[in-house]
Amino acid sequence: MPQLRIALAQVNPTVGDLGGNAATVVAWTRRAAEAGAHLVVFPEMVLTGYPVEDLALRRSFGSATRDRLDVLATELADAGCGDMAVYVGYLDRDDVGPRNGAAVLHGGAVVARQFKHHLPNYGVFDERRYFKPGHGLDIVRVRGLEVGMVICEDIWQEGGPIAALGRAGVDLVVSPNASPYERKKDDARLPLIARRAGEAGAPLVYVNQIGGQDDLVFDGDSMVVGADGSLLLRAPQFVEHLALLDLELPGGAAKTDAEADDEFTVRRVTVSDHPVPAYEPRHLPVIAEQLPEEAEVWSALVTGLRDYVTKNGFRSVVLGLSGGIDSAVVAALAVDALGSDAVHGVSMPSGYSSDHSRSDAAELAERTGVHYTEQPIARMVDVFVDQLGLTGLAEENVQARCRGVTLMGLSNQHGHLVLATGNKTELAVGYSTIYGDAVGGFAPIKDVPKTLVWELARWRNAEAEKRGETPPIPENSISKPPSAELRPGQLDSDSLPDYELLDAVLDDYVEGDLGYQDLIAAGFAPELVDRVLRMVDLAEYKRRQYPPGSKISFRAFGRDRRLPITNAWREGVHR
């Protein structure tokens, strides 16, 4: 029976770095060749990074990408990898327009090209703005086996190209992907891939990228599923990884050149027509365990923060340490992402700051080893308050804005990236000060509800204890009532409903997109719904000016949820 050793190259590309991404393809292909692989599959648009957004509309970028693909084919041959079939995602541009494509490189040349058929246009995706859809299917004969390909969204559609490949009688299907992470996504991903493998009547090789790109995070989780739905291989999440699998397939018989159907024209390309002699497998398939939910979310947040900082050329970050839970979790994430020496924490007490806010901030710095300074802001606040005659809310907000100015000054002076420490719940209801605690270049927990912030803190401390390490987050930061310390004795509960209840309403309204009557039917009190929805609707202008942050939910603020700032519609008010 023909045998094929296949390599899944789960790598972390950078958008726009054609040279660096090409070097990554060469390096990982060489590793695959040294391991005896015959075929290696890279993620969707690995040569350009994903998503390229409006770069796709630039002719200069499209031309450079297509030219770089040809150069990459010769570089692979020069590196001694010319005998391998290398699947590389890229951006194609010709008279038809820009297309999301994947090519097969072999023998120093591009021997096959295929373009994505289904262009997603929901959630974070806007591919119909950028790309033209593909129509044909290239089937490549590798080591006597016929290999078809579908690109990312093509496997999420029942029927279509994967069914056409099944009718064409392929022995194997490969699928390059750039599928962003969100919580519990694998509950849908693995069953879907199993269904598509059954539809194709052949094993399906799913290769996903890892890493952060602006507000998106990619988790990898690459896998191979048999035609019977069995999981044959799974790569670990959130790490670059080369996964290898030996496949014994009953194919190799000559196929006809007939089209699969009227919609998809099939072109067959032969790379090698000679089956490989049988041999003992050298690599046992690895099936990595799925991470528990808190570990998965924490890894996504660490990955997103790390890549945003490093890919944008920063070497260090700075954040305000209030002694509260949000800044403590952000500091712990930053240490895990970048190392303690790259993290600078600043305590900025005002005239209303409690003793425990200072001591908890100092304790966190001691536990994590971050650089720590104290910059009192009381005199700065007094200058603004006295000169402008500020009282009430205006005076309270000046405190936050003096802290924002302090952090931005340190950023400008030392080159740190400022981290905003607000969570999704605060962002939803506008419980933040624009140009104050909302300043920053990146917001690591922007998509994390307040109740999940507490869960992550407890989980991270428990993990440290399991490893015999010092838990990074002070217990008092977790257990004390949350407060922005805007005035003596002030608590968050003075302005907001209980966080458990508030997050439940927000989950239905933001994530579930339920209307007023639906929320009442779900059991929430009308006065609570009125209050929460009004806060959410009036805070849109703040969210538009908030820094980017890693998406972990089904519907994050930004790419996923786009509402007008000037908006007279109010749920529950009939006009």
Answer positive or negative: Cα dihedral of 423, 427, 431, 437: positive
By CB atoms closer than 10 A (0-12, 13-18, 19+), residue 15 is: middle
Per the structure block, which two tokens stand in for 390?
């500020």
By CB atoms closer than 10 A (0-12, 13-18, 19+), residue 295 is: middle
Q: How far apart, in whole angstroms, are the C-alpha atoms of residue 510 and residue 125?
A: 18
Q: How far apart, in whole angstroms, are the C-alpha atoms of residue 69 and residue 53?
A: 19
Residues 479/482/486/488 CA torsion (nearest 10 deg):
-50
Residue found by looking up tokens 């393809």 in the block = 25
By CB atoms closer than 10 A (0-12, 13-18, 19+), residue 70 is: middle
Residue type, 455: E
Q: How far apart, in whole angstroms, are the C-alpha atoms of residue 124 and residue 115?
A: 20
Task: Give me the DSSP letters along 213-279.
Answer: ETTEEEEB--EEE-TTS-EEEEPPBSS-EEEEEEEE-S--SPPP---SSSS--EEEEES--SPPPP-
Strands 3-10 and 241-248: antiparallel
The H helix count followed by the E strand count for the chain is 17, 19
Which residues of 13-169 form beta strands (DSSP E)?
39-41, 85-94, 97-106, 109-115, 137-142, 145-149
Task: Give me the DSSP letters along 72-116.
Answer: HHHHHIIIIITTSEEEEEEEEEETTEEEEEEEEEETTEEEEEEE-
Q: How far apart, in whole angstroms, are the C-alpha atoms of residue 180 and residue 220?
A: 9
So which residues are the catalytic ones? 44, 116, 152
Q: How far is CA 257 from the centre of its chain?
A: 40
Contact 235, 221 (CB under 8 A): yes
Q: How far apart, in whole angstroms, are the C-alpha atoms of residue 102 and residue 110?
A: 10
Q: Is 283 in a helix, a strand, or coil?
A: coil
Buried/exposed 85-111: b ≥16 CB within 10 Å, e otherwise:
bbbbbbbbbeeeebbbbbbbbbeeebb
Angular region, 432: left φ>0, alpha ψ -120 to 50, beta rest = beta
Q: Is 122 in a helix, a strand, or coil?
A: coil
Contact 437, 422 (CB under 8 A): yes
Q: How far apart, in whole angstroms, are the C-alpha atoms of residue 75 and residue 35?
A: 19
Q: How far apart, in whole angstroms, are the C-alpha atoms of residue 531 and residue 444?
A: 27
